[in-house]
Amino acid sequence: MGEELKVIIFGLASEYYGVEVDKVRTIERMMPITRVPKTPAFIKGVINLRGVVIPVIDLRGRFDMEQAEATENSRIIIVAVNDLEVGFIVDSANDVIDIDSDAIDTPPEVIGGIRARYLRGVAKLNDGRLLVMLNLAEVLNKEEIVQIEQFED
């Protein structure tokens, strides 16, 4: 048995993704997002969360998925990536589960069009669903982190 990981499950399109609870600061309902000029299309802008300006990324856009309107279930998951707080827009944030780290397999090259560098692995859940574990450090590459850090000044 490997170590137990606490994971937040969220949905994008018909897929389920996971991110470790210790990387998640908070999960928020959708709120007004201020667009920032000259940023990639998937960077939706910034939000003011309790006095802190946080950049927001549309994960559908990041992964070149079809865009969708926000719904009642849409959420912004605030995560910490390399000392930077970033919000990810997801279709839904479902629940928190425990996964044995041994249950996480190396990802194939592409899953649902998402390149392997964004993925930490794939876990098979007890109910038969596959859970794609994100590699948060890769979801934001270095140049994008530099761009985002500029709007925090």
Q: What is the pLDDT of residue 146?
A: 60
* Residue 8, CA distances (Å) to 23, 94, 99, 116, 135 in order: 10, 7, 10, 20, 14
Q: Domain-by-domain residue ranges, the chain?
A: 4-150
Question: Residue 2 above 90 pLDDT?
Answer: no
Among 19, 63, 14, residue whose Cα is nearest residue 41: 63
Q: What is the pLDDT of residue 40?
A: 82
Predicted confidence band at 111 (pLDDT cuts at 50, 70, 90)? low
pLDDT in tens, 120-145: 888 888 788 888 888 887 777 656 65
CATH fit for domain 4-150, picks 2.40.50.180, 3.40.190.10, 3.40.50.300, 3.30.70.890? 2.40.50.180
Percentage of the chain lying above the pLDDT 90 cut? 42
Numbers of helices and strands, H then E, in the chain: 3, 13
Cβ neighbours of 28 (radius 10 Å): 17
Q: Tokens representing 30? A: 């959708």
Predicted confidence band at 93 (pLDDT cuts at 50, 70, 90)? very high
Q: What is the pLDDT of residue 81?
A: 77
pTM of the predicted structure, to 2 decimals: 0.85
Question: Residue 32 above 70 pLDDT?
Answer: yes
